[in-house]
């Protein structure tokens, strides 16, 4: 499943339809990043750029110019170069972006300083993501200054810079049927990776060995890169929210928290599961795990059109705080512990985030100062957690060092919601049965 060229073209048209007259949008591609010496990081295209083009090469710039008679889309990209293609692979070239990507006009990237100022002349405004690319910021200023230097010859420079992000962020927040299908597949691949980790886990393994099992499955299914750095935290490491060292042995009697998701054609999966290294929950682990699961279920039950984003989070706070009181980890009343923020010693993040081409995807959570209401086509994570620090002397020793998070990817539908990552078990008995049968 891939996004069709027609849909990329439709996205460009939708963006242009939302722009004011006499405007141009400038959208840069990502660049290769050096890792060390002569080694570069694997290339990953800028999400905005890919969303509008499907073009997966570095060093390119897309222009959208609504109403331009000679063509409303222009792309600058690397020229074909036989020698460089021998070393680094095929390039589409300006002719290729026109022939293969439905772009109206293509030019070599080396000619951008000559051609682009002529396209800016006479326009009123530039839509551009100011501050995201310092080098391109300088180039935009240079192009504007070139036009300003020709005012005596009748040139007119744009006088207004408009942030492009808001328009694109709103477009990307609501997923089309094709995007939903991709994310459904990414969720399934991610889920099967987690199942594999549960099946092979045993005491004495290293955290990185479970990471390797998950990444192997992702790659086997065509996902060469994860959507983010994989977290495999055994024991107290599960209390570190962004733990990525993954270099410690997994101990008998501990839990292991895995936060991992694949990236499929630039769309992310994002799942967290927590399970016992030896396949059996202890009494304390089971009590805290069931509490987190109850909180997640309460959140998912709320995830439907018309519900405020913050209502979902507040449901997790209410369930977790009451549960911590019932278990004796908090001692105040529900109202007092929520008002004072006492629960934050155990639950310090929000219940979820938008998900899409980026794992923490674009889109405002508030609109005009008010929490956004959920709408069909939005995809969000639901991921409450409890983390009892190993040095928390305010609780009994038997609770310390237990970190639990349960996360699923949830698509808001007309009827309610769909859990895209439901294939991986999360009920206590289901997890223990899966691990016992491996």
Residues 105 and 60: beta-carbon distance below 8 Å: no
In DSSP terms, which residues pair with 231 in a beta bridge? 259
Q: What Å distances lie between residue 191 and 201, 213, 269, 273, CA to CA?
A: 16, 13, 9, 10
Q: Which of 44, 68, 125, 349 is catalytic?
A: 349
| Nearest-angstrom CA–CA distance, 143 and 135 | 13
Residues 213 and 174: beta-carbon distance below 8 Å: no
Task: Determine whether 141 is an active site residue.
Answer: no
CB contact burial 331-340 (16+ within 10 A = b; e otherwise): eeebeebbee
Residue 438 is predicted with a pLDDT of 82
Sequence-distant (6+) residues with CB within 8 A of 420 are 183, 184, 186, 187, 188, 269, 379, 408, 409, 410, 411
Q: Which of 35, 224, 344, 360 is catalytic?
A: 360
Q: What Å distances lie between residue 268 and 78, 117, 261, 347, 380, CA to CA?
A: 28, 37, 7, 25, 11
Residue 176 is predicted with a pLDDT of 97
Residues 183 and 175: beta-carbon distance below 8 Å: yes
Q: Which of 387, 408, 409, 432 is catalytic?
A: 387
Residues in the chain, pLDDT under 50: none
Task: Determine whether 383 is an active site residue.
Answer: yes
Residue 324 is predicted with a pLDDT of 98
Residue 1 is predicted with a pLDDT of 56
Helix 177-200 with 207-220: angle, nearest 10 deg: 140
Task: Determine whether 405 is an active site residue.
Answer: yes
Q: Which of 194, 228, 405, 432 is catalytic?
A: 405
Q: How many beta carbons lie within 10 A of that of residue 1, not counting itself?
A: 13
Task: Determine whether 364 is an active site residue.
Answer: no
Task: Determine whether 432 is an active site residue.
Answer: no
CB contact burial 211-224 (16+ within 10 A = b; e otherwise): bbbbbebbeebebe
* pLDDT tens profile 232-289: 999 999 999 999 999 999 999 999 999 999 999 999 999 999 999 999 999 999 999 9
Residue 213 is predicted with a pLDDT of 98
In the Cβ-directed half-sphere of 246, how many Cα atoms lie within 13 Å?
18
Task: Determine whether 242 is an active site residue.
Answer: yes
Task: Determine whether 38 is an active site residue.
Answer: yes
Q: Which of 6, 38, 134, 335 is catalytic?
A: 38
Task: Determine whether 398 is an active site residue.
Answer: no
DSSP, res 354: B
Q: Max alpha carbon distance in the chain (Å)?
A: 81
Task: Determine whether 270 is an active site residue.
Answer: yes
State both tokens at 362.
């674009």
Pairing between strand 73-77 and 105-108? Answer: parallel
| Nearest-angstrom CA–CA distance, 24 and 4 | 25
Residue 2 is predicted with a pLDDT of 85
DSSP, res 235: G
| Nearest-angstrom CA–CA distance, 324 and 316 | 12
In DSSP terms, which residues pair with 409 in a beta bridge? 381
Residues 34 and 40: beta-carbon distance below 8 Å: yes
Total-model pTM: 0.97
Through-space distance between the first and last CA atoms of the chain, rounded to whole angstroms: 31
| Nearest-angstrom CA–CA distance, 241 and 424 | 21
């Amino acid at each position: 499943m891939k996004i069709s060229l027609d849909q990329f073209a439709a996205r460009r048209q939708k963006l242009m339809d939302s722009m004011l007259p006499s405007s141009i949008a400038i959208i840069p591609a990502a660049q290769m990043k050096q890792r060390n010496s002569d080694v570069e990081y694997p290339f990953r295209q800028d999400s905005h750029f890919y969303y509008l083009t499907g073009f997966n090469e570095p060093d390119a710039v897309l222009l959208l110019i609504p109403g331009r008679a000679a063509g409303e889309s222009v792309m600058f990209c690397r020229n074909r170069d036989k020698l460089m293609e021998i070393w680094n692979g095929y390039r589409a070239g300006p002719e290729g972006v026109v022939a293969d990507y439905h772009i109206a006009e293509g030019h070599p990237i080396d000619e951008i300083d000559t051609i682009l100022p002529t396209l800016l002349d006479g326009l009123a405004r530039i839509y551009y993501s100011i501050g995201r690319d310092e080098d391109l910021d300088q180039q935009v200023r240079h192009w504007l200054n070139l036009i300003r230097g020709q005012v005596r010859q009748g040139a007119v420079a744009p006088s207004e810079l408009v942030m492009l992000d808001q328009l694109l962020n709103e477009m990307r927040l609501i997923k089309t049927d094709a995007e939903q299908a991709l994310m459904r597949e990414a969720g399934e691949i991610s889920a099967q990776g987690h199942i594999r980790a549960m099946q092979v886990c045993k005491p004495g393994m290293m955290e990185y060995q479970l990471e390797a099992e998950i990444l192997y499955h992702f790659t086997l299914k065509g996902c060469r890169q994860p959507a983010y750095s994989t977290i495999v935290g055994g024991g107290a490491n599960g209390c570190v929210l962004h733990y990525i060292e993954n270099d410690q042995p997994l101990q008998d009697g501990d839990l292991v928290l895995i936060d991992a998701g694949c990236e499929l054609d630039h769309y992310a999966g994002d799942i967290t599961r927590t399970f016992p290294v030896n396949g059996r929950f202890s009494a304390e682990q089971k009590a805290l795990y069931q509490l987190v699961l109850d909180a997640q279920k309460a959140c998912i039950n709320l995830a439907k059109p018309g519900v405020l984003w913050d209502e979902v989070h507040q449901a997790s706070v209410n369930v977790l705080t009451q549960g911590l009181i019932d278990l004796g980890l908090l001692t105040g009343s529900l109202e007092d512990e929520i008002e004072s923020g006492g629960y934050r010693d155990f639950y310090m993040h929000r219940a979820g985030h938008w998900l899409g081409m980026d794992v923490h995807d674009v889109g405002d959570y508030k609109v005009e100062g008010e929490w956004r209401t959920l709408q069909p086509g939005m995809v969000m994570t639901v991921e409450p957690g409890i983390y009892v620090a190993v040095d928390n002397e305010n609780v009994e020793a038997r609770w310390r060092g237990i970190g639990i998070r349960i996360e699923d990817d949830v698509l808001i539908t007309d009827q309610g919601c769909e859990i895209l990552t439901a294939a991986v078990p999360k009920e206590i008995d289901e997890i223990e049965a899966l691990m016992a049968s491996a």
